[in-house]
Amino acid sequence: TFSSSDDASNYLAEYIIKKINDFQPTPTKPFILGLPTGSSPEGIYARLITANKQGRITFKNVITFNMDEYLGLPPTDLQSYHYFMFNKFFNHIDIPRQNINILNGLTTNVDQECANYEAKIKKYGRINLFLGGLGPEGHLAFNEKGSTRQSKTRKVSLVDSTIKANSRFFDNDCEKVPKFALSVGISTIIDNSDEICLIVLGENKNFALNKTINGKSSDENYPSSYLQDHHNVLIVCDNAAAGL
């Protein structure tokens, strides 16, 4: 727990840099990094960009898998997670384009797209580090209330509270928010990751963070509580998020 969001972001950015550098990835043994969107990881991305420019880290041998994408939004849409990731991170670091994996929100074959994504993650064996955010109601990626422990990459319906929370990016108009998304599942995250790190910032996360840590384990109503089942989870938060 840190007193400011800046300190929390700084800590986790440096932590990730150290993990990648200690691993010393090579073309035949890349570092596999899971990545989130949302405002919470933005400070981490900014710091990783700076470190990359300073030569303190390279992403040349890092493979990334993003957690989720809105269904129906083209990569050029300002609100797509594709756009977000390239705009906030990938365009500013030395990662090769072919190392980046994001679910295709324009797919015409949802089942195939999801199965391919899941298979590609499995092909690499383990995700070395999965960085995640936390939804105000305890969602992880777009695994909403009711997501099962066994869930894999799939099409999901967004619940009203998520649509409302994310409407701030869509002119505060819930009608404009996509109602469906593609998301990695709980199993995809928990069963494939050697380590899971969460960045949790702000008072509006204190309910979800409390449920994540102190709530019943593996409670379908709060999917982040599945993390209690994983052997290696690091949660980095600010005081506001830790309020409960």
Binding site for ligand GLP (CB under 6 A): 36-40, 67-68, 133-135, 141-142, 162, 166
Minimum separation from the CB atom of position 166 to ligand GLP (A) = 6
Distance CA 203, CA 241 (A): 5
Distance CA 123, CA 6 (A): 36
68, 69, 118, 238: which is the annotated catalytic residue? 68
Q: Are strands 129-132 and 100-101 parallel, antiparallel or unpaired?
A: unpaired
Distance CA 128, CA 19 (A): 9
42 flagged as catalytic: no
Count how many Cα atoms sit within 13 Å of the Cα of residue 212 in the half-sphere of its side chain.
Answer: 29
Q: Which is nearer to ligand GLP, 51 or 200 (CB)?
A: 200
Q: Are strands 154-157 and 180-183 parallel, antiparallel or unpaired?
A: antiparallel
Q: Which is nearer to ligand GLP, 30 or 44 (CB)?
A: 44
82 flagged as catalytic: no
Distance CA 219, CA 156 (A): 18
Q: Which is nearer to ligand GLP, 61 or 144 (CB)?
A: 144
Distance CA 194, CA 127 (A): 6
Minimum separation from the CB atom of position 61 to ligand GLP (A) = 25
Minimum separation from the CB atom of position 236 to ligand GLP (A) = 13
137 flagged as catalytic: yes
69, 113, 137, 195: which is the annotated catalytic residue? 137
Q: Which is nearer to ligand GLP, 39 or 239 (CB)?
A: 39
Minimum separation from the CB atom of position 25 to ligand GLP (A) = 25
Instruction: Give the catalytic positions in this structure.
Output: 68, 137, 139, 144
